[in-house]
Amino acid sequence: MDFAAARERMIERQIAARGIDDPRLLDAFRTVPRELFVPLELQPRAYNDCALPIEAGQTISQPFIVALTIDAAGIGPHDRVLEVGAGSGYAAAVTSRLARAVIAVERIPELARLADERMRRLGFDNVLVRQGDGSLGCPDQAPFDAIVCAAAGPQVPEAWLEQLTPGGRVVMPVGAMEGVQQLVRVTLDRAGRPRREELEPVRFVPLIGAQAYDEPDRS
């Protein structure tokens, strides 16, 4: 399979055609081989317009949703970014092409280990992967210019707002654990006051943690 051609089609048809036209962001997608962030048997579907299953019963988000979230965060070349819900590491890798540094937090140990291995193997050396409760942010690496999240919480965690720089942005889905949620952007003004904007209806897995949802009871 010609993955480079499939990647270019994805960028043109799934991202640019839907109105995301930042040249830096489109170029970032060109540099990240999505096929290496999914299980081997799913590589032929890596550039499909949908989410795909990955290890530990989790998913890698639809490419457009990854693009929409990163674009909404307005990431600049000098920014330090916290990414919560690292999953396979794909979104962190794309973000790393735009930012100075990315701290990616993943609560599931297996996924954190695999994402860390991918970053080192593929040369994304400005990404630090941490295993832990992402709802608490990453205090020892703060402050952050932007925080992006790939899971839905009941509200923006207070810990994240405390770890943002003035003018910093949080982009995350907010809403119930199941059903339609809203992708929101919360921006801190220079006085530290948050301003919230609703961007797009979305569906994400729940954010699990001390400042988010409890682990579902599967008994």
Q: Measure the CA–CA gap between 172 and 41, rounded to whole angstroms.
A: 30
Which position among 61, 88, 96, 135 bears the catalytic label? 61
Residue 136's identity, in one-letter code, is L
Distances (CA, A) of 145 to 29, 135, 185, 211: 21, 17, 13, 20
Is 61 part of the annotated catalytic residue set?
A: yes
What token pair was written down for 24?
Answer: 């830096």
Q: Measure the CA–CA gap between 66 and 86, rounded to whole angstroms.
A: 12
Tokens 């954010």 correspond to 207
143: preceding bond cis by omega (within 30 degrees): yes
Residues 25, 96 contacting (CB under 8 angstroms): no
Q: What angle (nearest 5°) sits at the alpha carbon of residue 168, between those of residues 166 and 172?
A: 145
Residues 108, 132 contacting (CB under 8 angstroms): no
Q: Which residues participate in catalysis according to the annotation?
A: 61
